[in-house]
Amino acid sequence: MQNPIIAALDIQTAEQALKLAQELAPAVGAFKIGKELFTSAGPDIVKRVRDTGASVFLDLKFHDIPNTVAKAIASAVRLDVQMVTIHTSGGSEMMRAAEQSAQQTASQSGRNAPLVLGVTVLTSHDASTLAEIGCEPNVGKQVERLAGQVCVGWSAPRWKLPRCGRCFPLPCNWSPPASAPVRKRRMIRSARSPRARRCRPVRAGW
Catalytic residue among 61, 71, 160, 184: 61
Burial class (CB in 10 A: 0-12, 13-18, 19+), 57: buried
Q: Which of 28, 29, 21, 22 is nearest to 1 (CA)?
A: 29
DSSP letter, residue 5: E
| CA 89 – CA 159 distance, rounded (Å) | 17
Amino acid letter, 144: E
Torsion (CA) 198, 156, 60, 178 in degrees, nearest 10: -90
Cβ distance 103 to 70 under 8 Å? no
Instruction: For residue 61, indicate whether it is catalytic.
Output: yes
Q: Which of 198, 122, 190, 126 is nearest to 158 (CA)?
A: 198
Length of the chain counted residue by residue? 206
The catalytic site residues sit at 61
